[in-house]
Amino acid sequence: MDIAFGVTATALVLFMTPGLAFFYGGLVRARSVISMMMMSFGTIGLVAVLWILYGFSMSGVDSPFAFSGNPFADIGLAATLAGESANTDLVGVAYGSTFAIITVALISGSIADRAKFGSWLLFAGAFATLGYFPIAAWVWGGGWVESLGELLGMPDVIDYAGGLAVHMNAGAAALALAFVLGRRLGFQKGSHRPHNVPFVLLGAAILWFGWFGFNVGAEWEDNMAGAGLIAINTIGCTAASILAWMAVEKIKDGKPTAVGAASGAVAGLVAITPACANLTPGWALLLGVFSGAICALAIELKYRLKFDDSLDVVGLHLVAGFIGTIYLGFFAIETGLFFGGGVGQLVVQLVSTVGVVVYAFLVALVVGFVIEKTVGFRLTNEDEVVGADTVEHGEKAYEYELAETGTATTQS
């Protein structure tokens, strides 16, 4: 086992959350960029601590019928540290923490411009505990999703790097929070434009860079046996998704945009996440075309259905995660329907998808509702107008010195 690559992959995936902060930060108004980025950085601090205290213990089960592992089994990783293989095991624990962090951070994009920071941290801690940790156990820790194929006499569920556990989990939770907090003031198409497009492109680039740790990283425990296929699929699917998104924009709106290209990259990365180790490169390219084109259209649904998923967490992560997960039912090497595997792969992919999405949505809805009705989750209308940066953090993202007067101005 290549421990050095395990540490590198851990760093790559951890770097994705600051990348997400730039991606999300560029998409919001200037008066909310610090608030938006702080949600990601606050999540890093909180979820990493919870993972070490008890989250890792919850992420593995002894029975497919268990809800989660015992949170008190290895508090603070004392038992893991005392084990004979502690050095290797702790790298795995660290790697797992980065998945928990970014899953929760992704959700914040649905409530941009209007959420209290303290309330967000309450939600992040509760959802990590009740949402991500158990679902990680279901999908990767011996739970019902990982055991579903055996229980039904069908192929095993494929979720190599997190279509279920990360993206659809976060996307379903984001949809629930969008309902809890309601729409931003003046919500309509074109009313909330990105304030910093270079930030968006930088964030997408960092995410793509870190995604090689996300997808290829798990191979460090298997002597890098499938690293080549995973790496080329991570490039190919993402590239095809960028092209497809820009083509849809050109046809629909007359011009391809930089924000669209960045969003297409994210859609492709999300779609290939569950499928990266189980598709041939050609079928990965087709998956990229599907994810880019469909997600470019899906993000418009929030205006028709009148829910304010501010930064398109639903349209990107829930939709692309669903596409990538279900696509395996048709095109997975050896077990997909079009590869002579029958309908079993498709059945287990669908059943696991429904279970994870419904559970994540309900947990986020209940937790978000309780926070809103107790300490309050949403900013007041007055505070939303002033801006979350000033109200929640007492800071401005941009301040300019006027040389001729010696005074300072801020952009809001």
Task: Tell me the C-alpha distance between 198 and 206, whole Å.
Answer: 12
pLDDT value for 224: 77
**Per-residue confidence at 407, pLDDT binned at 50, 70, 90?**
low
Q: Could you report the per-residue pLDDT of 16-46, keeping only the tens digit for each?
A: 999 999 999 999 999 999 999 999 999 999 9
- Both tokens assigned to 308: 């304010």
pLDDT value for 1: 57
User: What are the backbone dihedrals phi and psi of residue 275, each rounded to the nearest 5 degrees, phi first?
Assistant: -110, 0
Task: Tell me the C-alpha distance between 370 and 374, whole Å.
Answer: 6
The average confidence (pLDDT) of the chain is 95
Q: Are 192 and 349 in contact (CB under 8 A)?
A: no
> For 201-218, what is the mean pLDDT?
96
Task: Tell me the C-alpha distance between 151 and 24, whole Å.
Answer: 40
**Residues in CB range of 121: below 8 A, 6 or more apart:** 42, 43, 46
pLDDT value for 404: 47
pTM metric for this prediction: 0.95
